[in-house]
Amino acid sequence: MAVRLLMKVSVDQIVDEGGGIRSFYFRPEDRRQFPPVLPGAHTLLRVTKGMMRQYSLCAPPGDRRYRLAIRLDPAGRGGSRFMHESAHVGDIFYLSYPQPDFLLDPDRPSYSFFAGGVGITPMLSFLYALQGRTCRIRLCYFVRADGAVPFEQEIRALCPQVEIFNSAQGGRASFEDLLDGSRGDAIYCCGSAPFVAGVQGAAESLGLGTIQVESFVSGVKAGYLGEPFVVDLPRSRHVLDIPSDRSMLDVLLEDGVDIDYACEAGVCRSCIVDVIEGEIIHRDQCLTEDERRTVMTPCVSRGRGRIVINSI
Amino acid sequence: MTGRVCGIYTAEVAAQEMMEGHECRLLANVGIEGDRYARRIGRWSDRPKTEHQISFIELEVLHQIYDETGVVLTPRETRRNIITCGVRLNDFLGQTIRVGKNALVYVEKLNHPCKYLERLIDKQVMASLLGRSGLNCQVISGGIVRLGDRIERVL
């Protein structure tokens, strides 16, 4: 858990990194300097009212700005499209304090980093943190780029031995084969949900134990088809029917509820609401068992029958 | 019963860390100029209520919480607009109070603490705030409010 307050920021610089990825550099507008960032931490970007998105913080050390790398997903939920099409230098946004959920164990003798696409960004911050350390580093970077590979120059300066598998140029590799050479390493993985699941599955089949993973979109499908139920909001005197083909978050937003949301997949904690009555069917991947007694993530979780929400 | 304004805080959007100021402008039936509720983009702005226009909390409560629990809850972290000293705010419930020279606010309800605050600031303070979480008020008459200004009941 960490402070989730937002800081007022402005876009200081936008850099096209290739592969549909742009780096957005932000500087603070309501303080002299940003809080320090632990390697691997991410932030929540308030794209528009209610719409939050998670991005790893990956500015080089010494740069006092925050850098977020955002890949354009034309078929996505709109966050990346807004940033690529509408954000300009000087525009005001709001970023959360750093969220340290994916952290580097700094004292290991050897590391293996598996990055899929824009999942390279927390690995960049890991590489910067390990600069000058006497440890073995392996970086396997899976990417699809017709032109320049995003961040290639920066990565090669930090990790000349990087193994890049560019599927646009026929680059392929078996996760099992690669992981077999990573036995004993601290293994970290970030990328899309299928990418992370693939690496995790390979690690399990090889008996490598737990690996550290981060994915900002989970394997749980947003708007999960599930049980119809009723949500009672006594504070606003609204009672809402949640049909089986819609998420509770969708219905709340349509009703005009001012609720933050980001992943829409039960991983980021942005949309948590307090439940004071009723049975919850939890489908998140972020709450503790203790928390699940009193809160839920309406983006993926549902109720049975009727539930009563206190916080909205 | 007279108190003083010892802190002024606003936020431009919901969840933004509160920004400290030396003065603010109260707008009748709107709120504080530039604040998230006056801009209708606060946490509860989807269901606008006059009680959200301006909020108060006692500095003394923050000291009590520290003495009782060891938790440092700073004025900024309370997310209330006006921090007061020298006055028992709960006694103003249902009354109109003057803040500064001209501004009048009607005390609609006692604030009820929420877990939303705990999640934002990552501190367990909800239980400690129960019964002394400050006031939610409507701005009846606008005016400038400055640090050190008097807070008093309108007779």
Average pLDDT (A159-166) is: 96
Instruction: Quote the CATH superfamily of domain B2-153.
Output: PK beta-barrel domain-like (2.40.33.20)
Instruction: Return the pLDDT at A263.
Output: 78
CB pair distance less than 8 Å for B119 and A4: yes
Query: How many angstroms separate the CA atoms of A179 and A182, rounded?
Result: 5
Name, in order, each residue with C-beta under 8 angstroms of B121's C-beta and a sequence gap of 6 or more.
A3, A5, B77
Domain boundaries, chain B: 2-153
Q: Where among A214, A241, A256 does a domain terminate?
A: A214
Query: In the predicted model, is pLDDT for residue A222 greater than 70?
Result: no
pLDDT tens-digit readout, B9-67: 999 998 999 999 999 999 999 999 999 989 887 776 666 789 999 999 999 999 999 99
Q: Is residue A224 part of a domain?
A: no
Q: Which of A180, A214, A248 is the last residue of a domain?
A: A214
Structure tokens at A309: 């929400």
Classify residue A290: in a domain, yes or no: yes
For the stretch B112-154, pLDDT in tens is 887 788 889 999 998 999 999 999 999 999 999 999 999 999 9
The enclosing domain of A43 has a CATH number of 2.40.30.10
- pLDDT number for residue A171: 84
Q: Which of A1, A3, A92 to mutate to test the interface with B (most CBs of B within 10 A)?
A: A3
| Residue ranges making up the domain that contains A50 | 6-96
For the cut 80, the answer to whether the pLDDT of residue A312 exceeds it is: no
pLDDT, averaged across chain A: 91
Average pLDDT over residues A63-80: 91
Number of domains within chain A:
3
- DSSP character string of chain A: -----EEEEEEEEEEEEETTEEEEEEEESSSSSPPP--TT-EEEEEEETTEEEEEEB-PPTT--SEEEEEE--TTSSSHHHHHHHH--TT-EEEEEPPB--S---TT-SEEEEEEEGGGHHHHHHHHHHHTT--SEEEEEEEE--SSSPTTHHHHHHH-TT-EEEEGGGT----HHHHHHTTTTSEEEEES-HHHHHHHHHHHHHTT----EEE-SS-SSPTT-----EEEEETTTTEEEEE-TTS-HHHHHHHTT----BS-SSSSS-TT-EEEEEEEEE---SS--TTGGGTEE-TTT-EEEEEEEES--
A30, A256, A274 ranked by CB distance to B19: nearest = A30
Residues A74 and A31 reside in one and the same domain? yes
Helices and strands in chain B, H and E counts: 4, 11
Per-residue model confidence (pLDDT) at position A223: 44
In this complex, which of A235, A257, A272 lies closest to B119 when CB atoms are compared? A272
Q: Which of A49, A74, A96 is the last residue of a domain?
A: A96
Residues of B in contact with A260 (CB under 8 A): 14-15
B30 or A170, which is more confident?
A: B30
Check which CATH number belongs to the domain holding A296 and give it.
3.10.20.30
State the pLDDT at residue A129.
96
Do A114 and A202 share a domain, yes or no? yes
Does A125 share its domain with A147?
yes
Can you name the residues that pair with A16 across neighbouring β-strands?
A22
Convert the pLDDT of each residue in A3-51 to its tens digit.
999 999 999 999 999 989 999 999 999 999 999 999 999 999 999 877 8
- Does residue A175 contact residue A198 with C-beta atoms inside 8 Å? yes
